[in-house]
Amino acid sequence: MRRCFHPPEADATLQPDMAREIVSTARPSMPRLAGFLTLTTGGLMLSLGSLMTWAKVPPFDTPTRGTDLWEGIVTLAIGVAVLVGMVTMRLMGTASARRAMAVAILALGLSAAAIAAADAVRGNARFTSPGQRDRIARELAAELHLPYEEVRSRLAVVYEQRFHVSLRPGLFVVVAGGLLVAAGGALSVAWAARSSTPHADREIGGSGDGVRS
């Protein structure tokens, strides 16, 4: 009968360090806490910024959202991947696996920032590319109740003249979010390296009392 009251044994498939960290009540180290905060903020900024307006295109200031472009779809996917990867990294059982995930997240952050920055630099050309002209013409034709071909031809005349695409905050939110993710990835690399040392084992609960040494 006593066996019925024995506490369940820990899952043998969990790595010892991973199991201790999950149940530890110790205060997290500074690299771990800073990495968590920057990755969370950066991932959310990437996701939200990709859904925001990136530019307004003349002659009617037609808005172009991030997800109207393949670049915005990619940065949205990166934002989601960063948030998922951040949680996965915390559950990995070895320092080498955590380090590899942190490096991947750092690379994703730099890629997202570079993609959005490139669109900002070549704004006039990117946001009035042939594919975007077709999309804008379709939206304007529906809004103005005019034939699509007529609107498309008028836009072609406008874009042959001098014009300026107005960049909107969503584009820069993505750039900032990507840089934050990269910074969070670098901090997570430092945390992963530190977690492989004996001192880190004590910090994540190796001493058994939940107090940092």
pLDDT tens string 132-187? 888 888 888 888 888 888 888 887 777 777 677 889 999 999 999 999 999 999 99
Query: Does a structural domain hold residue 52?
Result: yes
195 falls in which pLDDT band (50, 70, 90)? Answer: low
Which tokens is 140 given?
Answer: 């304007």
pLDDT tens digits, one per residue of 26-43: 566 777 788 899 999 999
pTM, 2 dp: 0.73
Judgement on whether residues 72 and 102 belong to the same structural domain of the protein: yes
Which amino acid is located at 203 in the chain?
E
Is residue 105 domain-resident? Answer: yes
pLDDT band, residue 83 (cuts 50/70/90) = very high
Could you tell me if 95 and 139 lie in one domain? no
In a domain, 40, yes or no: yes
CB under 8 A, 24+ apart: contacts of 122-129 = 123/55, 123/165, 123/167, 124/163, 124/164, 124/165, 126/69, 127/54, 127/55, 127/57, 127/64, 127/165, 128/57, 128/159, 128/163, 128/165
In-domain check, residue 71: yes
Quote the number of domains for the chain. 2
Give the model's pLDDT for residue 212: 43
* Same-domain status, 33 and 68: yes
Which range of residues forms the domain containing residue 139? 129-162
201 and 116: one domain? Answer: yes
Residues 45 and 96 in one domain: yes
Residues 113 and 77 in one domain: yes
Indicate if 114 and 142 belong to the same structural domain.
Answer: no
